[in-house]
Amino acid sequence: MTNLSVNLNKVALIRNTRNIGIPSITKMAQICIDAGAKGITVHPRPDQRHIRPGDVYDLVEVVKDVEFNIEGNPLEVSFMEIVRRVKPTQCTLVPDTPDTFTSDSGWDLTKDKERLIPIIQELQSLGSRVSLFMDADVEQVSLVPNTGAERIELYTEPYATAFREKQDLDSTWQKFADAAKKAQELGLGVNAGHDLNLDNLAKFCTIPHILEVSIGHALTAEALEMGFYDTVRAYLKILG
Ligand SMILES: CC(=O)[C@@H](O)[C@H](O)COP(=O)(O)O
Ligand SMILES: NCC(=O)COP(=O)(O)O
C-alpha cells in the first residue's frame, strides 16, 4: 500500500500573500488527515517563500497521529534547527540551493556522500527516518546504502513531463522502475514525489512497492476545484 503524504507548501504560499492567516496550514492539514492522508509534508525553505518555521511547530500537534515529513537541505542551518526541535517521523534531504525556483535534482553522492553521513547519523539519533532525494539513476542509488539512509525519494519530474508531453513515457517509466528495483534490492525503502498528479499517478504506481508519494503542487491546484477532502479521497482511490 502506497501512503499519501500531502505537501502543504502551496497552501502557505497563498497564506503569505496577506497578513490575515488564511488559508490555515493546520486546518488544511487536519482536513487532509480526516480524508485519510497518512502523512503531511512541508519544505521550509531558507527564504520562507511558503512554509515558515512557525508553521512546522504549529503542525506538530495536528500531525501527531500520521507521519510528519520535513524536507530540506541539511547543509542549511535553518533546516537543522527546525528538525532538531521537531524530531519528525522522516527527514527528506534535498540538495536545493537557497534561491532555486523549485527542487530540480537529486543528490550527487559521488560529491556529497561524506558530508551527508554525519548529518544522517544525527537525524537518526533524533529518531527520524532519513530519505535522500534522488534522480532515477541506478548508479547513484547504488551509493545510498553507504550513507546509512533508510529510504530514497525518487524525483519524479522527468516522469511527469514525459507523461504530460506523451514523449518517451515508457522508457522514462522504465528508468524509474529500474531505480526503484535497485533500491529495493539494496534494502532501501522507496518514496516518490514532484509533479505527481491525479492523471499521472496510477501509471507511476505500477512500479512495485512504492512506500510513499508526497504530493502538493498539483493536489493544491486540484483542490481549488474539488476541495482538499475530496481531492485527497481521489488520490487514495488511485492508491488503492
Ligand atoms: C522536494 C520536492 O520535490 C518538493 O517536495 C518540494 O517541496 C517542492 O518545493 P516547492 O513547493 O517550493 O516547489
Ligand atoms: N517531495 C515531493 C513533494 O513533497 C511535493 O512535490 P509537488 O507535488 O509539490 O511537486
Among residues 42, 109, 47, 55, the alpha carbon closest in space to that of 76 is found at 47
Q: Whose CA is nearest to atom 13 of ligand 1?
A: 102
pLDDT of residue 175: 98
Give the position, in ligand 1's atom list, of the atom nearest the Cα of 193.
3
Q: 141 C-alpha to center of ligand 2: Å?
A: 20
Give the position, in ligand 2's atom list, of the atom nearest the Cα of 41.
4
Taking the C-alpha atoms of residue 2 and residue 196, their distance in angstroms, rounded to an integer, is: 14
Taking the C-alpha atoms of residue 45 and residue 13, their distance in angstroms, rounded to an integer, is: 12
Q: 67 C-alpha to center of ligand 2: Å?
A: 15
At 24, the amino acid letter reads S
191 lines ligand 2 (CB under 6 A): no
Q: 135 C-alpha to center of ligand 2: Å?
A: 14
Note the pLDDT tens digit of each residue in 123-160. Answer: 999 999 999 999 999 999 999 999 999 999 999 999 99
The pLDDT-based confidence of 113 (bands split at 50, 70, 90) is: very high
3-239: CATH topology is TIM Barrel (3.20.20)
Number of continuous H segments (helices) and E segments (strands) in the chain? 11, 8
Q: 194 C-alpha to center of ligand 1: Å?
A: 7
Q: Whose CA is nearest to atom 1 of ligand 1?
A: 103
The model's pTM is 0.98
CB neighbour list of residue 189: distance below 8 Å, 6 or more residues apart: 131, 150, 151, 152, 183, 211
217 lines ligand 2 (CB under 6 A): yes
Quote the mean pLDDT of the chain: 98
214 lines ligand 2 (CB under 6 A): yes
Binding-site positions for 3-amino-2-oxopropyl phosphate read: 7, 18, 195, 216-217
Half-sphere exposure of 146 (CA within 13 A, CB side): 11
Among residues 127, 142, 36, the alpha carbon closest in space to that of 86 is found at 127
CB neighbour list of residue 142: distance below 8 Å, 6 or more residues apart: 182, 186
ipTM over cut 0.85: yes
Note the pLDDT tens digit of each residue in 151-201. Answer: 999 999 999 999 999 999 999 999 999 999 999 999 999 999 999 999 999
Cα–Cα distance list, 219 to 73, 143, 213 (Å): 23, 32, 12
The pLDDT-based confidence of 87 (bands split at 50, 70, 90) is: very high
